């Protein structure tokens, strides 16, 4: 009788515990773009389920040495080099948003005197949202509101040249200043300026995304190598961003590692990004 009771208790423990969910970050329905820039011909392929592939324009250099995988994309401020991602429903009005990328900068890129933006990492529409560099050695997250542009810049010079650095920004754009965006450099959150936005975010439906240049064309050209670009429609936590930085979009850099939850058998299988 006692054994039967214990057995019942054991069974009840199994069934009462709620199902375990996804723990490590994985590409999911919120992942809008996951681009690894490994392709040597044709479009750069989006590893999310949205097929937001990148179309090469101008003087893009393929095959630069990447952070993960083997290759990456290089922009050298020549011939309006850009990777264009055509508009799609999945890219409309992304909010909240997290953008992550590995960047190896040669310089801040092309400065725009009027806006003080430097090289653009990625932009949606005409400054609907922009992740960019700002002279000198700073990062900028810019969102256009009905009351005008609002730029959150790093308070300090955080950008280096000549080696890969991981940049990320997470923001509920519609919330504006509170909570303000959180920006990470190499997994560490960095201090930002505190501008005050006015109005509502743009409706950017039906517009393209450009990587490496301003969508207005020919300005703010990047001077950098980019790898492992992620656009996610959620606020990723500091733990998520550090994991993406360490493990890559597909998780392969940490596959089999002992430091993470891959010990519960997620490992390579976590990588639904290709």
Partner 1 sequence: MRVIFIVLILVLLLCGQAFAQCVWKIQAVEQDPDRGSILVVTQYTLNGQAVQVGHTRYDEQIGNLEEIKSLIQKDLQDHCEALIRRIPVNNDFIQQEILKTQKELTQPLIQALQTEIGKSASVKETVVIWKGKTIKVTDDSKNSVSDIP
- List residues binding partner 1 (CB under 8 A): 5, 8-9, 12-13, 16-24, 156, 186-191, 237-240, 242-243, 246, 259-261, 263-264
55, 165, 206, 209 from 94: Cα distances, Å? 21, 25, 12, 12
d(CA 183, CA 185): 7
Paired residues of 150 in beta bridges: 143
- Position of tokens 């999945």? 90
> Minimum CB separation from partner 1 for residue 188, in Å?
5
Output 1 or 113, the one with its CB closest to partner 1.
1
d(CA 218, CA 209): 14
> Minimum CB separation from partner 1 for residue 130, in Å?
24
> Minimum CB separation from partner 1 for residue 141, in Å?
18
> Minimum CB separation from partner 1 for residue 59, in Å?
32
* Closest CA relative to residue 44, chosen from 69, 76, 78, 77: 69
> Minimum CB separation from partner 1 for residue 132, in Å?
21
User: Token pair for residue 167?
Assistant: 């940049």
Output 79 or 194, the one with its CB closest to partner 1.
194
Output 4 or 40, the one with its CB closest to partner 1.
4
d(CA 67, CA 54): 19
Output 8 or 269, the one with its CB closest to partner 1.
8
Output 5 or 113, the one with its CB closest to partner 1.
5
User: Token pair for residue 134?
Assistant: 């700002």
């Amino acid at each position: 009788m006692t054994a039967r009771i214990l057995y019942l208790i054991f069974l009840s423990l199994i069934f009462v515990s709620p199902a375990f969910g996804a723990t490590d970050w994985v590409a999911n329905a919120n992942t809008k773009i996951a681009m690894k820039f490994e392709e040597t011909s044709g479009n750069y392929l989006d590893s999310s389920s949205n097929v937001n592939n990148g179309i090469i324009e101008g003087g893009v250099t393929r095959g630069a040495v990447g952070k993960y995988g083997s290759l990456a994309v290089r922009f050298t401020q020549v011939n309006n080099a850009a990777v264009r991602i055509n508009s799609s429903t999945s890219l409309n009005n992304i909010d909240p948003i997290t953008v992550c990328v590995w960047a190896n900068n040669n310089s801040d890129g092309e400065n725009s005197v009027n806006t003080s933006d430097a090289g653009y990492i990625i932009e949606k529409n005409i400054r609907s949202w922009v992740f960019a560099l700002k002279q000198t050695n700073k990062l900028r997250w810019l969102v256009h509101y009905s009351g005008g542009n609002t730029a959150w810049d790093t308070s300090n010079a955080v950008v280096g040249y000549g080696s890969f650095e991981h940049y990320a920004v997470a923001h509920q754009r519609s919330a504006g200043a509170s909570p303000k965006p959180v920006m990470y450099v190499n997994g560490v959150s960095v201090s930002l300026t505190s501008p005050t936005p006015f109005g509502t975010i743009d409706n950017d439906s039906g517009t393209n995304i450009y990587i490496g240049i301003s969508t207005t064309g020919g300005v703010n050209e990047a001077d950098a190598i980019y790898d492992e670009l992620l656009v996610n429609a959620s606020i990723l936590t500091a733990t998520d961003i550090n994991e993406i930085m360490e493990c890559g979009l597909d998780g392969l850099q940490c596959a089999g590692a002992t430091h993470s939850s891959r010990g519960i058998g997620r490992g390579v299988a976590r990588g639904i990004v290709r």
